[in-house]
Amino acid sequence: MGSKLLEIKNLNVSAEDKQILKGIDLTINKGEIHVIMGPNGSGKTTTANAILNNPNYTKTGGTIIFNEEDITNLKTDEIARKGVFMSFQLPEEIPGISVTNFLKYAKNKVTGEPVKIFQFKEELKQYMESLNMNPNNIERSLNVGFSGGEKKKNEILQMLVLNPKLAILDETDSGLDVDAIRTVSKGIEMFKNENNAVLIITHNTKILRSLEVDYVHVLVDGKIVKTGTSELAKEIEENGYSKYKK
């Protein structure tokens, strides 16, 4: 596999004076898909937010190296500009800003270059067709009146358009039917290449049935207690997390 893209060393994170992450180590190389699984409240979403330095979470120890640069204390927007993307569990609705304008603005912020609108709209159209998205959504206000599945597909569309180096997908599969999960998996496969990486955060294994992943990490009570292949996800699907809990 390729060179290191993300390296988390002994990461400790608190929120509202409660320690959530208790010394996490994780290395993601270019070209890899990693999955963090764990029961609710184990620290999965905290891990994602800590990578992007969400101010609601306080790092009390450890470092995060991205693309050979220490990003531990950078601001969230700076980290995003360096190529880290995160899709949200509950995407925000933004009235008055169309999907097109939002994506155009975001792309401009990430690349620092003006967006060629005709070319951009063509690109959007092709991605939306691949993701089975309603082409009319492109001019609608971002996520307003969208179903859960449409919102999640919209997040995948953002990932494809912004083309980050690392895509973190937080519970992208929650609440989706089988077809929508398949579409999300297809979007991840369209995105992934040997120069980028994906980190999927989930508490169920549905998305892993239609996606080949390299590593599965089990996170329990703020620590990674086991790392394995997709076989580990199958074992958890059958037996749950009980054997990993204290």
d(CA 228, CA 217): 7
d(CA 102, CA 89): 19
pLDDT, residue 102, reads: 92
The three-state secondary structure class of 97 is strand
Domain formed by 4-93+148-244, architecture:
3-Layer(aba) Sandwich (3.40)
DSSP for 152-208, written as a single string: HHHHHHHHHHH--SEEEEESTTTT--HHHHHHHHHHHHHH--TT-EEEEEESSSGGG
Contact (Cβ atoms closer than 8 angstroms) between residue 53 and residue 60: no
pLDDT, residue 62, reads: 96
Residue among 124, 156, 126 at smallest CA distance from 140: 124
198-212 CB burial, b ≥16 within 10 A, e <16 = bbbbbbebbbbeebe
pLDDT, residue 89, reads: 73
pLDDT, residue 219, reads: 95
Residue among 168, 199, 150, 220 at smallest CA distance from 33: 199
Per-residue pLDDT for the chain (246 aa), expressed as one digit of tens each?
A: 459 999 999 999 999 889 999 999 999 999 999 999 998 889 999 999 999 999 999 999 999 999 999 999 999 999 999 999 998 777 888 999 999 999 999 999 888 889 998 999 999 999 999 999 988 888 999 999 988 888 888 999 999 999 999 999 988 767 778 888 888 899 999 999 999 999 999 877 888 888 899 999 999 999 999 999 989 988 998 988 888 886
d(CA 83, CA 117): 22
Enumerate the H helices of the chain as residue ranges: 44-51, 76-81, 99-111, 117-130, 148-162, 178-191, 230-239
